[in-house]
Structure 1
Amino acid sequence: MTSPPAPIGVSARLPVDAPGNALRRHPVRLLGTSWPWRSLVYLASTPVVAGIWLLTSWPALALAGLPLGRVERWRLRWVDRRPIPDPHVPGASAGFGGWVRLRLSERATWTELLYGVLLVPLSLLSFAVLSVALLVPAAMIATSTALFVILVLGVDPDAVTAVPDLPASAVNENPIAQLGIVTLGVILLVAGLYFVTIAAEGQRYLCRLLISEPSSQLTERLVDVTRSRARISSAFDEERRRIERDLHDGAQQRLTSLIMTLGMMRYQLHRGKDIEPLLEQASADAQRAVDELREIVHGIYPSALREHDLAEALNELVSSTEHSGLTTHIQLTVPADLDPDIEVGLYFAISELVTNVTKHSEATTMTLSIAPTLQKTLLVTVEDDGHGGASPDRGTGLIGVVDRIETLGGSVHLHSPAGGPTRVSLEVPCAS
């Protein structure tokens, strides 16, 4: 017999993933958990981080919040067990200047800088909280405990005091009074740990709000990726229907015709008639069936990749454009262990871009380059000197390129002003 499900109360709905949740769920036995001590380390390190950032990052001006954001997202894990996303979009590979322009256009860059400005007074507040909530009670406990021991042992407090001229009235020589002060110090210290937990929760909330929550750009990108995958799913269904239609109307009909021709050949052969015309017809039907099957298979997986690696397949692809009078420059640095899915996706995407150049751009020169980046991505650039004005809305196949690359976890950057030139950059993650 299975036991009935446990009732869903407040504790079940409240995961212990932050100091505030731990305080609400375990208010009595909070000190038996790690959260007060995590909070203590978090607050105690705040002045150190703020001081180092203030002394070292100011030359970066508006970008000074970027290194602080990275450090704070790491430090936030001490008091926050939820995923801590990086709010920045992956850096564009248009050089250092492009990276700076991208970062300056992001809301997260400015909120991180704002957090840095706020962190300076926050560090002073953290120091004050730790001093009042912990250092003062700890000093009371230490001092009164020492005096209690001295008085119990019968030693004159004036003989061991660090201040010889201290008035006798300043030292209560009653052991019971000192024991009461120790007890008060312990109570204040316990209350101080609760106060530290609350202060850490407030700083954690502010930190996550300013340096960790996904930006609107990431939200928009997630929506774009979702739409791309929906379009690809629909495209897969359409592709399956196309393959079925092509097989039925093309190769299947050719093979049926071939079977009929072979039957007529047998009939004519038995009658001793000339079968040379039927042989030619059968040969033509078989060749057409093979060609149509090859076209269908090429649309599923390019034969060039079955026979060669990506670099050789792309060289073959680009060389096929020479008949159109297009001058091409190609520079490929492709990792040897590239994932097959990435190879196929890049091949079809680049094939579409090359087709756009030859058919729509009226370009005389095209450059194709592939190179790995320091961010462990593969950067593909296709550039031409055509008339420009390319856009995914103009039906030039760019939507399909975007869908393929975003499905691989990459991004597409298009720069195509009227009058040209057009540059399309594809960036996909790779293991190398």
Structure 2
Amino acid sequence: DIAKNETILPKDDPFVEHYQTPPILEILYELDPKFRESVEKFVESFDKPEIRALIGREALRKYTGYYGPVCIVDFAVSAGSMPGLFAMILDKIEIEKKYRETILAAKSWGMNTSYGFGTKFIEAVEAGKTVKEAVDAEIERLKEMWLSPVETQVKVMEEVKHESFDPAEYMKRYRARIEPYVKAAFEGGVHPGNITVVPAYCVGDVGHHIAQSMYNMAKDDVTFAILESVTGVLEKNIKKLLEAGKLTDSFRVLRAATGITAAATAYILALDGFTVPMVIDLLVKRFYNYVLKYPTRGAAAELHNCDFMDVLLRGERIIAPPPIGKGGKIMGVELDFTPITENYVLMHPEEYTYPGCAITVRFSSLMRLADFPCLLTSEPVTATVNTYIVAQYPDRVISPPMICKDCAVSRLLSGRRTHCYYRLGVTKETIIY
């Protein structure tokens, strides 16, 4: 049996999403030798002086917090993200468009290993190595994750002392079961980038979103009430938009769903008198002190804070009155927030603190979700809708979406917009939305 414990330990559950893409990549390498050759060419470029310098610069910027809080494994090509870094590299070498798209897809919504860029560099510098040695270590790991993704995932899990189950055996069994479907999709004309994305994102719910860590967090009545009410707002308003004839294609469903949950989250924030700029200011300032206090922090430490801020910023734009915002409307339809206003727990914060001073209860529970906003974004919803989009448009790569995220952090640190990879070469060739 592959299990080593009765359940997946909380410390191991973040990695559940990352075991699918490595075996799928290795299957694709065998199905399409030209793809493997393109990946090898991509990896060989890491040793070119220009690209080596680029990797070193970006690793140093990650180490020092140059860009502020970043989503290192973002689903878009934002500043400081791995898709952004790989997009910059791909822009400097000649690789067939389909394979460039697949590489970007495999480390955005596809999750090629759990490795976060900069980890090896930071470890080496903090261990007393020279910067050159640190760059060498970083490049070695980046090469490994593309040339031997399954082996690299096992290695990364050993480094983080994963113990819930045997990663190698899991991926071996997963490959055996998924291979016929990968082959059928490949032969059926599904873009290989989409083949790396769909299984990764859909598997992550069990053992990750539905996990002991989520359960522990939701033991708090107010935190659970937030999750419950935001989901209620989503259900009520998706039906409302459907009845109004606004959901005319899958892309509109995706935009509506994510907009609704964002608006609901921002609505709850506003109940306690907090504004989105206050939260951005707080978390960005905390980030810089966190870098000083914990120089060996995990590469992904602040990524969910970024997601949380982005959700709030988008939600604020929806609920703010015109001309600043949309006046609480999506696609011209007024949102119904009654699942929040009729939620007993959220409407009675005085039952969860000193009753006469219950002005921070909902905010404090929202901040619990700042580290784990996956059911506010909502990842299960986006995973499902994106799968339908791939089914409808199999030959159009779904990831990374070539859009400007209007990152919340950039509202405070506007200078980082000049470093946003969205505005650079290779990313402009693939427009989905």
The bucket for the TM-score relative to the shorter chain is under 0.3
Higher strand share: 1
Structure with the larger RCO, 1 or 2 (CA within 8 Å, 6+ apart): 2
Over alpha carbons, which structure has the higher Rg? 1
